[in-house]
Amino acid sequence: MGFNMRARLRAAQIEVTGFDRNPAVTDVASMAELVAAVPAPRLIWVMVPSGDITSSVITELSVLMDAGDLLVDGGNSRFTEDQKHGAMLAEKNIGFIDVGVSGGVWGLENGYGLMAGGSKENVAWALPVLDVLRPEGERADSFVHVGDIGAGHYAKMVHNGIEYGLMQAYAEGYELLAKKEIIEDLPGTFRAWQKGTVVRSWLLDLMVKALDEDPGLESIDDYVEDSGEGRWTVEEAIANAVPAPAITAALFARFSSREDNSPAMKMVSALRHQFGGHATKPAGS
């Protein structure tokens, strides 16, 4: 996703220097070269997998960056990690904001939905970049300053929890229709829902696309990963005594997919691949 974000910013005439461990896509050979190449005061955007990798990258950058710079974590970090990273960077007078990013592999063309956490001053500084990354139109339709540090990723966590439930509902409907002999045009049924119905959505459009590419989903195994946010959403629901049966059931269905053969979970896997480019497992693996 970071590669596509760089391309979208460059298309808007914003100068971007990117570092990636893959020499085929990187602009510089190291993070030290990256920081040296960006004029101060710097805005450095981190877009790497959540967890230890994010923490190690932010820790390394905290040594290389200068007071007055701003670091943005645009990955899917847990909100509690944002608060730790923000406090560490504040000791060095380096600003920090967390930005939940939604849009997957389609963001380059369509723009990204953005949810920011941090101070008003730091979010305002990053706003020219955020405005290019989001879709055209009213800012409030695709961007929100949710609150202080951690709030952006908390909102993205809940967004992804909702996504789990939505995908599971579509997938279960797919399996039920596929089981019934009187349904003679399964892909056409979903295609007919794309306009005018109350269940129309981008996920439904991607479902139709997945069926166009592989009508029986025969090339996809029903094993579905969960990338963290669904688990964290359920944990937060428990911690705050908020009932979340749909999201919880969708998470548990992913666990079940690792044991059983399920057409519904094949569809969930196909949808994750369509919007996010997440890897699928080949059938029979």
Active-site choice (81, 163, 172, 229): 163
- Residue 189, token pair as written in the block: 């049924």
**Per the structure block, which two tokens stand in for 191?**
């295609």
- The fraction of the chain above a pLDDT of 70, given in percent, is 98
Q: What residues are paired with 71 via a beta bridge? A: 44, 96
**CB burial class (10 A; 0-12, 13-18, 19+) of residue 261?**
exposed
Report the amino acid identity of residue 141.
Answer: D
68-96 pLDDT, tens digit each: 999 999 999 999 999 999 999 999 999 99
Binned at pLDDT 50, 70 and 90, residue 285 comes out as low
pLDDT at residue 16 greater than cutoff 70 = yes
Residue 259 has pLDDT above 70, yes or no: no
DSSP state of 259: T
Cβ atoms 134, 12 nearer than 8 A: no
Which regions of the chain carry the CATH code 3.40.50.720? 2-149
Helices 151-179 and 229-239 pack at an angle, to 10 degrees, of: 110
Identity of the residue numbered 100:
G
268 vs 64, which has greater pLDDT? Answer: 64
Q: Is 84 a catalytic residue?
A: no
163 catalytic, yes or no? Answer: yes
pLDDT reported for residue 109: 93
> Which residue in this structure is represented by tokens 């269905």?
253
Indicate the SS3 state at residue 112. coil
Return the SS3 of 248.
helix
Q: Taking residues 20-47, what's their average pLDDT?
A: 96
**pLDDT of 278 over the 80 cut:** no
Q: Where in the sequence of the chain do the CATH 1.10.1040.10 domains occur?
A: 157-276
Higher pLDDT, 13 or 279: 13
Say which CATH topology domain 2-149 has: Rossmann fold (3.40.50)
pLDDT of 260 strictly over 70:
no
* Rounded-to-integer distance, Cα 279 and Cα 285, Å: 13
pLDDT of residue 284: 64
81, 156, 172, 266: the catalytic one is: 156
What's the CATH architecture for 157-276? Orthogonal Bundle (1.10)
- Tell me the longest C-alpha to C-alpha distance in the chain: 67
Q: What is the DSSP string of 181-222?
A: TT---HHHHHHHTSSSSTT--HHHHHHHHHHHH-TT-TTB-S
- What distance lies between CA 211 and its chain's CA centroid? 23
Distance CA 107, CA 61 (A): 26
> pLDDT band at residue 269, thresholds of 50, 70 and 90?
confident
Give the whole-angstrom CA distance, residue 131 versus residue 278: 26
Q: CA-CA distances (angstroms) from residue 151 to 54, 72, 100, 279?
A: 17, 13, 9, 29
As a whole number, mean pLDDT of residues 225-250 equals 93
Per-residue model confidence as pLDDT tens digits over 105-158: 889 999 999 999 999 999 999 999 999 999 999 999 999 999 999 999 999 999
